[in-house]
Protein backbone atom coordinates (compact mmCIF):
# COMPACT_ATOMS: atom_id res chain seq x y z
CA UNK A 1 0.00 0.00 0.00
CA UNK A 2 2.70 2.33 0.86
CA UNK A 3 4.36 1.71 -2.49
CA UNK A 4 1.08 1.99 -4.28
CA UNK A 5 0.41 5.31 -2.69
CA UNK A 6 3.80 6.49 -3.60
CA UNK A 7 3.34 5.62 -7.27
CA UNK A 8 -0.30 6.20 -8.17
CA UNK A 9 -2.45 7.67 -5.43
CA UNK A 10 -2.50 11.44 -4.93
CA UNK A 11 -2.48 12.85 -1.47
CA UNK A 12 -5.94 14.29 -0.96
CA UNK A 13 -4.67 16.65 1.65
CA UNK A 14 -2.31 18.45 -0.67
CA UNK A 15 -3.65 21.67 -2.41
CA UNK A 16 -2.48 21.49 -6.00
CA UNK A 17 -3.53 25.06 -6.65
CA UNK A 18 -0.67 26.24 -4.48
CA UNK A 19 1.92 24.68 -6.68
CA UNK A 20 3.57 26.94 -9.34
CA UNK A 21 2.29 24.71 -12.09
CA UNK A 22 -1.33 25.06 -11.21
CA UNK A 23 -1.34 28.54 -9.68
CA UNK A 24 -3.86 30.86 -11.40
CA UNK A 25 -2.47 33.96 -13.07
CA UNK A 26 -3.74 37.32 -11.89
CA UNK A 27 -5.52 39.33 -14.56
CA UNK A 28 -4.92 43.08 -14.84
CA UNK A 29 -7.90 45.06 -16.11
CA UNK A 30 -7.19 46.95 -19.34
CA UNK A 31 -8.68 50.39 -19.56
CA UNK A 32 -10.52 51.01 -22.84
CA UNK A 33 -8.97 53.71 -25.01
CA UNK A 34 -10.43 55.89 -27.75
CA UNK A 35 -8.99 56.14 -31.22
CA UNK A 36 -9.11 59.11 -33.65
CA UNK A 37 -12.56 58.11 -34.92
CA UNK A 38 -14.09 58.00 -31.48
CA UNK A 39 -14.15 54.17 -31.27
CA UNK A 40 -13.28 52.52 -27.96
CA UNK A 41 -11.54 49.26 -27.29
CA UNK A 42 -8.33 47.77 -26.05
CA UNK A 43 -5.04 49.11 -27.40
CA UNK A 44 -4.29 45.86 -29.18
CA UNK A 45 -7.68 45.90 -30.87
CA UNK A 46 -7.66 49.54 -32.00
CA UNK A 47 -4.01 50.28 -32.74
CA UNK A 48 -1.71 47.87 -34.44
CA UNK A 49 1.91 48.86 -33.96
CA UNK A 50 4.13 49.06 -37.02
CA UNK A 51 7.88 48.78 -37.44
CA UNK A 52 8.19 52.56 -37.01
CA UNK A 53 6.75 52.41 -33.52
CA UNK A 54 3.55 54.24 -34.50
CA UNK A 55 0.09 52.70 -34.49
CA UNK A 56 -0.89 51.57 -37.96
CA UNK A 57 -3.75 54.06 -38.33
CA UNK A 58 -1.61 56.88 -37.00
CA UNK A 59 1.11 55.97 -39.46
CA UNK A 60 -1.36 55.95 -42.36
CA UNK A 61 -2.59 59.40 -41.31
CA UNK A 62 0.99 60.68 -40.95
CA UNK A 63 2.05 59.32 -44.33
CA UNK A 64 -1.05 60.80 -45.98
CA UNK A 65 -0.36 64.22 -44.42
CA UNK A 66 3.31 64.00 -45.43
CA UNK A 67 2.32 63.16 -49.02
CA UNK A 68 -0.08 66.12 -49.21
CA UNK A 69 2.52 68.51 -47.76
CA UNK A 70 5.18 67.30 -50.21
CA UNK A 71 2.75 67.67 -53.12
CA UNK A 72 1.92 71.24 -52.07
CA UNK A 73 5.62 72.14 -51.80
CA UNK A 74 6.38 70.63 -55.20
CA UNK A 75 3.41 72.46 -56.71
CA UNK A 76 4.53 75.79 -55.22
CA UNK A 77 8.09 75.19 -56.44
CA UNK A 78 6.81 74.43 -59.95
CA UNK A 79 4.77 77.64 -60.01
CA UNK A 80 7.77 79.70 -58.83
CA UNK A 81 10.05 78.14 -61.45
CA UNK A 82 7.44 78.81 -64.12
CA UNK A 83 7.20 82.48 -63.15
CA UNK A 84 11.00 82.92 -63.21
CA UNK A 85 11.28 81.23 -66.60
CA UNK A 86 8.43 83.36 -67.97
CA UNK A 87 10.02 86.61 -66.78
CA UNK A 88 13.42 85.62 -68.19
CA UNK A 89 11.89 84.66 -71.52
CA UNK A 90 10.00 87.93 -71.78
CA UNK A 91 13.20 89.90 -71.16
CA UNK A 92 15.46 87.92 -73.47
CA UNK A 93 13.12 87.18 -76.35
CA UNK A 94 13.54 89.46 -79.38
CA UNK A 95 11.07 92.30 -79.58
CA UNK A 96 8.56 92.30 -82.36
CA UNK A 97 8.60 95.09 -84.92
CA UNK A 98 7.29 98.25 -83.28
CA UNK A 99 4.29 100.00 -84.72
CA UNK A 100 3.74 103.72 -84.61
CA UNK A 101 0.74 104.40 -82.38
CA UNK A 102 -0.04 107.96 -81.42
CA UNK A 103 -1.13 108.21 -77.82
CA UNK A 104 0.01 110.03 -74.72
CA UNK A 105 3.60 109.17 -73.78
CA UNK A 106 3.48 106.05 -75.90
CA UNK A 107 6.57 103.84 -75.88
CA UNK A 108 5.61 102.42 -79.29
CA UNK A 109 7.67 103.99 -82.03
CA UNK A 110 8.82 103.65 -85.58
CA UNK A 111 12.16 101.85 -85.98
CA UNK A 112 15.23 103.82 -84.89
CA UNK A 113 17.06 103.53 -88.19
CA UNK A 114 19.41 106.52 -87.81
CA UNK A 115 22.32 106.47 -85.37
CA UNK A 116 24.90 109.14 -84.49
CA UNK A 117 27.90 108.84 -82.18
CA UNK A 118 29.99 111.37 -80.27
CA UNK A 119 33.03 110.85 -78.08
CA UNK A 120 31.89 111.25 -74.48
CA UNK A 121 35.05 113.22 -73.63
CA UNK A 122 34.90 116.69 -75.17
CA UNK A 123 38.08 117.87 -76.84
CA UNK A 124 38.05 121.21 -78.66
CA UNK A 125 41.79 121.11 -79.31
CA UNK A 126 41.12 119.85 -82.84
CA UNK A 127 38.37 122.40 -83.46
CA UNK A 128 34.69 121.54 -83.66
CA UNK A 129 33.33 118.33 -82.12
CA UNK A 130 32.67 115.47 -84.51
CA UNK A 131 29.29 113.78 -84.81
CA UNK A 132 29.87 110.50 -86.65
CA UNK A 133 27.88 107.75 -88.29
CA UNK A 134 28.36 104.22 -86.87
CA UNK A 135 30.98 103.46 -89.55
CA UNK A 136 33.08 106.44 -88.44
CA UNK A 137 32.18 108.73 -91.34
CA UNK A 138 31.59 112.38 -90.49
CA UNK A 139 27.94 113.38 -90.25
CA UNK A 140 28.00 116.83 -88.58
CA UNK A 141 30.29 119.22 -86.72
CA UNK A 142 29.31 121.04 -83.52
CA UNK A 143 31.09 124.15 -82.32
CA UNK A 144 30.27 126.39 -79.38
CA UNK A 145 32.08 129.56 -78.28
CA UNK A 146 31.55 132.13 -75.52
CA UNK A 147 31.85 135.86 -75.93
CA UNK A 148 31.15 136.45 -72.23
CA UNK A 149 31.19 133.43 -69.93
CA UNK A 150 30.01 135.32 -66.84
CA UNK A 151 26.95 136.76 -68.56
CA UNK A 152 26.36 133.63 -70.62
CA UNK A 153 26.67 135.10 -74.11
CA UNK A 154 27.44 132.26 -76.49
CA UNK A 155 27.18 131.21 -80.13
CA UNK A 156 26.55 127.68 -81.41
CA UNK A 157 27.20 126.55 -84.97
CA UNK A 158 26.29 123.19 -86.52
CA UNK A 159 27.86 122.22 -89.87
CA UNK A 160 27.23 119.33 -92.22
CA UNK A 161 29.86 116.89 -93.53
CA UNK A 162 30.81 119.45 -96.20
CA UNK A 163 31.61 121.98 -93.46
CA UNK A 164 28.65 124.14 -94.49
CA UNK A 165 26.70 125.80 -91.65
CA UNK A 166 23.17 124.41 -91.27
CA UNK A 167 22.22 125.99 -87.95
CA UNK A 168 23.17 129.03 -85.86
CA UNK A 169 22.02 129.60 -82.29
CA UNK A 170 22.68 132.62 -80.08
CA UNK A 171 22.18 132.82 -76.31
CA UNK A 172 22.21 135.67 -73.81
CA UNK A 173 21.70 133.47 -70.72
CA UNK A 174 23.86 130.39 -71.33
CA UNK A 175 24.76 129.80 -67.67
CA UNK A 176 24.51 126.86 -65.30
CA UNK A 177 21.73 126.51 -62.71
CA UNK A 178 19.38 128.93 -64.49
CA UNK A 179 17.01 128.87 -67.42
CA UNK A 180 18.80 129.15 -70.75
CA UNK A 181 17.51 129.98 -74.22
CA UNK A 182 19.16 129.46 -77.60
CA UNK A 183 17.54 131.32 -80.49
CA UNK A 184 18.18 131.11 -84.20
CA UNK A 185 18.95 134.57 -85.62
CA UNK A 186 16.64 135.92 -88.34
CA UNK A 187 18.76 135.03 -91.35
CA UNK A 188 17.86 133.69 -94.76
CA UNK A 189 16.63 130.10 -94.53
CA UNK A 190 16.04 130.13 -90.77
CA UNK A 191 13.13 128.19 -89.26
CA UNK A 192 12.64 130.14 -86.03
CA UNK A 193 14.40 127.45 -84.02
CA UNK A 194 14.36 127.96 -80.26
CA UNK A 195 15.99 125.69 -77.65
CA UNK A 196 15.25 126.15 -73.95
CA UNK A 197 16.63 124.48 -70.82
CA UNK A 198 15.08 124.60 -67.35
CA UNK A 199 17.39 123.04 -64.68
CA UNK A 200 14.51 122.82 -62.15
CA UNK A 201 16.74 122.51 -59.08
CA UNK A 202 16.96 118.97 -57.71
CA UNK A 203 14.55 117.67 -60.32
CA UNK A 204 15.50 116.51 -63.78
CA UNK A 205 16.29 119.16 -66.38
CA UNK A 206 13.51 120.08 -68.80
CA UNK A 207 14.63 120.44 -72.43
CA UNK A 208 12.34 121.73 -75.16
CA UNK A 209 13.04 122.91 -78.68
CA UNK A 210 10.64 123.97 -81.39
CA UNK A 211 10.83 125.18 -84.96
CA UNK A 212 8.66 125.95 -87.96
CA UNK A 213 8.89 123.29 -90.66
CA UNK A 214 9.26 124.19 -94.34
CA UNK A 215 5.54 123.60 -94.89
CA UNK A 216 4.66 125.99 -92.05
CA UNK A 217 3.79 123.54 -89.26
CA UNK A 218 5.20 124.10 -85.78
CA UNK A 219 6.95 121.00 -84.39
CA UNK A 220 8.02 120.64 -80.77
CA UNK A 221 10.51 118.18 -79.29
CA UNK A 222 10.75 117.43 -75.59
CA UNK A 223 13.77 115.75 -74.07
CA UNK A 224 12.97 113.65 -70.98
CA UNK A 225 16.42 113.33 -69.41
CA UNK A 226 17.26 110.58 -66.94
CA UNK A 227 17.81 111.63 -63.34
CA UNK A 228 21.15 109.88 -62.79
CA UNK A 229 22.79 110.46 -66.20
CA UNK A 230 22.51 112.61 -69.31
CA UNK A 231 20.73 109.94 -71.36
CA UNK A 232 17.00 110.00 -71.98
CA UNK A 233 14.12 109.88 -74.45
CA UNK A 234 12.99 112.41 -77.05
CA UNK A 235 9.31 112.97 -77.85
CA UNK A 236 7.80 114.83 -80.79
CA UNK A 237 4.47 116.63 -80.66
CA UNK A 238 2.42 118.65 -83.10
CA UNK A 239 -0.67 120.73 -82.59
CA UNK A 240 -3.74 118.55 -82.32
CA UNK A 241 -1.73 115.33 -81.86
CA UNK A 242 -0.23 113.39 -78.96
CA UNK A 243 3.46 112.96 -78.27
CA UNK A 244 5.37 110.34 -80.23
CA UNK A 245 8.58 108.66 -79.06
CA UNK A 246 11.15 109.43 -81.78
CA UNK A 247 14.64 109.34 -80.27
CA UNK A 248 16.92 108.00 -77.56
CA UNK A 249 20.16 109.39 -76.11
CA UNK A 250 22.43 106.92 -74.32
CA UNK A 251 25.78 106.59 -72.58
CA UNK A 252 27.49 103.58 -74.12
CA UNK A 253 30.81 101.76 -74.16
CA UNK A 254 31.80 101.07 -77.77
CA UNK A 255 34.65 99.21 -79.44
CA UNK A 256 34.70 100.83 -82.88
CA UNK A 257 38.28 101.19 -84.05
CA UNK A 258 37.88 104.85 -85.01
CA UNK A 259 37.05 105.70 -81.37
CA UNK A 260 40.47 104.35 -80.31
CA UNK A 261 39.05 102.13 -77.56
CA UNK A 262 41.30 101.07 -74.72
CA UNK A 263 41.15 97.87 -72.70
CA UNK A 264 37.76 98.90 -71.34
CA UNK A 265 36.38 100.28 -74.60
CA UNK A 266 35.56 103.88 -75.47
CA UNK A 267 32.98 105.99 -73.65
CA UNK A 268 30.51 107.37 -76.17
CA UNK A 269 27.27 109.35 -76.29
CA UNK A 270 24.84 108.08 -78.91
CA UNK A 271 21.63 109.17 -80.58
CA UNK A 272 19.16 106.69 -82.10
CA UNK A 273 16.14 108.17 -83.87
CA UNK A 274 13.51 107.60 -86.51
CA UNK A 275 14.13 108.48 -90.14
CA UNK A 276 11.28 111.03 -90.14
CA UNK A 277 12.61 112.98 -87.15
CA UNK A 278 14.31 116.33 -87.81
CA UNK A 279 17.93 115.16 -88.10
CA UNK A 280 19.70 118.53 -87.77
CA UNK A 281 17.68 119.47 -84.70
CA UNK A 282 18.14 116.03 -83.14
CA UNK A 283 21.94 116.01 -83.47
CA UNK A 284 22.05 119.61 -82.22
CA UNK A 285 20.13 118.56 -79.12
CA UNK A 286 22.50 115.65 -78.65
CA UNK A 287 25.60 117.86 -78.77
CA UNK A 288 24.04 120.54 -76.54
CA UNK A 289 23.14 117.96 -73.88
CA UNK A 290 26.70 116.61 -73.93
CA UNK A 291 28.24 120.10 -73.75
CA UNK A 292 25.88 121.20 -70.97
CA UNK A 293 26.63 118.11 -68.86
CA UNK A 294 30.37 118.60 -69.38
CA UNK A 295 30.22 122.22 -68.20
CA UNK A 296 27.50 122.16 -65.54
CA UNK A 297 27.22 118.52 -64.54
CA UNK A 298 23.89 116.75 -64.24
Cα–Cα distance for residue pair 104/242, rounded to 1 Å: 5
Cα–Cα distance for residue pair 220/285, rounded to 1 Å: 12
* pLDDT digits (tens), the chain, 298 positions: 444 444 544 554 555 555 555 555 555 555 555 554 555 555 544 444 455 554 554 555 555 555 555 555 545 555 455 554 454 444 443 333 333 333 344 567 889 999 999 999 998 888 999 999 999 999 999 999 999 999 999 999 999 999 999 999 999 999 998 899 999 998 877 889 999 998 877 777 789 999 998 888 999 999 999 888 999 999 999 988 899 999 999 999 999 999 999 999 999 999 999 999 999 999 999 999 999 999 888 7
Cα–Cα distance for residue pair 271/233, rounded to 1 Å: 10
Partners of residue 194 on adjacent β-strands? 183, 210
Sorted by where each begins, the domain ranges of the chain are 15-59, 114-296
Amino acid sequence: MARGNARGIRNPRKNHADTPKFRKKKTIPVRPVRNLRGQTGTPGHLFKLTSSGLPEKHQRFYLSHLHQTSSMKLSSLSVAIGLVVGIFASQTSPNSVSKLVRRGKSEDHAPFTNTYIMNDKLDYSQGALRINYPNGALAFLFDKSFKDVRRGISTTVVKDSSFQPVLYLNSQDDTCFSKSHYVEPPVSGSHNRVFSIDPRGLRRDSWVFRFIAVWGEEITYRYDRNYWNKGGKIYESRKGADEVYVGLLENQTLWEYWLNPGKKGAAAFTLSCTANAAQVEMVTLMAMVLARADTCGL
